[in-house]
Amino acid sequence: MGVIGPDGYWVYMGVLLALLTAYAGWRTTQRRALTPDEQGSFAVITPNATPLAVDAVLEEAQSDDPQQQQASA
C-alpha cells in the first residue's frame, strides 16, 4: 500500500480478477465438449428430499440411461 496508496487494494484485486478471468477463458477453449453419449446421468436431488424420493429419482435416472440399457441387453 505504500507504493500505490489506499487504492492499492482495489488495483490488486482488479488485477487478480482480470488474471483469473483470462485464465478461465483460455482454459475453456482447451478441451472439446463431451457428447451426450459420453456424459453420465444426472439426478437432481434437493437437500431435504426424503429417502423414498431419493430412491425413486435414482431408479428413474438409471432406467433412462441408454448405456445401462445397452449393457444389460
pLDDT (tens digit per residue) in 51-66: 888 888 888 877 765 5
Q: How many whole angstroms separate alpha carbon 32 and alpha carbon 67?
A: 21
User: What torsion, rounded to 10 degrees, do the Cα atoms 23, 26, 28, 30 define?
Assistant: -130
Between 27 and 2, where is the model more confident? Answer: 27
Which of 13-17, 36-40, 56-60 has the lowest average pLDDT?
36-40
pTM, two decimal places: 0.45
The pLDDT, as a whole number, for residue 67 is 55
Tell me the chain's radius of gyration from C-alpha atoms: 23
SS3 label, residue 35: coil
Q: How confident is the model at residue 16 (pLDDT cuts 50, 70, 90)?
A: very high
